[in-house]
């Protein structure tokens, strides 16, 4: 039986790739897509998610908008240099018209999916963790319906947003703290430590383009992201951040994890949003399954194989 999924996404470039990856995977059943603020404002991330579903011809999946801001402190950081002002690398207008919106608030849709499910649901968070934090806080009666949360979040090394933080955690550190510091639901954290080792190069992108017109549309979205990656890192490639989290949800165990307590810096200083692992043998706290290793060549090949089937 397919694994039921809720995908929570601030639909930007790598989010679009990750969403298509899930839709092209028979091992999972995408029951809902929920959309917070993130790479761009929620009005754009919400339209983008519905555009991607329109491209995929999936009008059957409910898509609901949610949080327009973090739980506590306002945070104006966005990522137009990576995702374009429209969130899809400047190519949003080339997509089909967005599918119809679900009128429910995102967290209400998540709760409804959990209530209706007859088997545990996996939540894949590939944006700020705001909705997952709200769900855990507002609906403690539903936590037994969640199999696990797989989050593209954090870094145990260098961050990619200001001080030492990874973008999704920096976007709402208090929400990340709530999700990563609880015993109710298992969490798999997919950090920059592994996603920055899984780089799709020019040859990979060329194969994606050759997959068909819809694949070419995805590759077009990647173009600005590729330019920004080259400018910052001097490498002609793109990191498939969110796709790794989705692939782990599709094929559990694809990424090799280490159980570590994780603390999130929620102060307002230069370390805000840092995710710090306690590696001491006597460390206390909820264990987060942190993905730190994988067969990166196999991961890249598997993601490409599934995307090319999109046509």
- Catalytic residue numbers, as ranges: 241
CA distance 308 to 186: 32
Q: 28 near 99, Cβ under 8 Å? A: no
Q: Is residue 172 a contact partner of residue 275, using CB atoms and an 8 Å limit?
A: no
Q: What are phi and psi of 150, to 5 degrees?
A: -110, 115
How far is the CA of 289 from the CAs of 23, 57, 292, 298, in angstroms? 25, 34, 9, 21
Question: What is each CA distance from 179 to 136, 169, 193, 261, 286, in whole angstroms?
Answer: 8, 11, 19, 12, 10
């Amino acid at each position: 039986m397919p694994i039921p999924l809720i995908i929570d996404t601030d639909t930007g470039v790598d989010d679009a790739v990750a969403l298509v990856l899930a839709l092209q995977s028979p091992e999972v059943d995408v029951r809902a897509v929920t959309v917070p603020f993130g790479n761009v404002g929620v009005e754009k991330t919400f339209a983008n998610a519905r555009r991607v579903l329109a491209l995929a011809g999936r009008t059957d999946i409910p898509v609901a908008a949610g949080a327009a801001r973090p739980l506590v402190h306002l945070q104006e950081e966005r990522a137009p240099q990576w995702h374009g002002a429209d969130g899809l690398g400047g190519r949003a207008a080339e997509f089909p018209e967005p599918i119809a919106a679900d009128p429910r608030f995102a967290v209400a849709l998540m709760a409804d999916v959990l209530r209706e499910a007859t088997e545990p649901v996996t939540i894949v968070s590939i944006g700020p963790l705001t909705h997952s934090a709200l769900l855990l806080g507002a609906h403690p009666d539903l936590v037994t319906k969640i199999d696990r949360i797989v989050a593209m979040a954090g870094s145990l090394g260098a961050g990619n947003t200001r001080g030492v933080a990874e973008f999704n955690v920096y976007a709402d550190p208090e929400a990340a703290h709530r999700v990563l510091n609880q015993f109710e639901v298992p969490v798999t954290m997919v950090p920059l430590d592994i996603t920055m080792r899984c780089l799709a190069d020019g040859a990979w992108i060329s194969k994606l383009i050759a997959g068909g017109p819809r694949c070419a549309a995805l590759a077009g979205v990647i173009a600005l992201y590729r330019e920004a990656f080259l400018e910052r890192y001097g490498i002609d490639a793109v990191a498939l951040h969110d796709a790794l989290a989705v692939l782990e949800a599709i094929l559990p165990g694809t990424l090799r994890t280490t159980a570590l307590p994780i603390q999130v810096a929620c102060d307002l200083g230069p370390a805000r949003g840092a995710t710090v692992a306690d590696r001491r043998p006597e460390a206390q706290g909820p264990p987060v399954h942190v993905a730190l290793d994988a067969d990166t060549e196999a991961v890249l090949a598997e993601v490409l194989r599934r995307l090319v089937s999109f046509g």
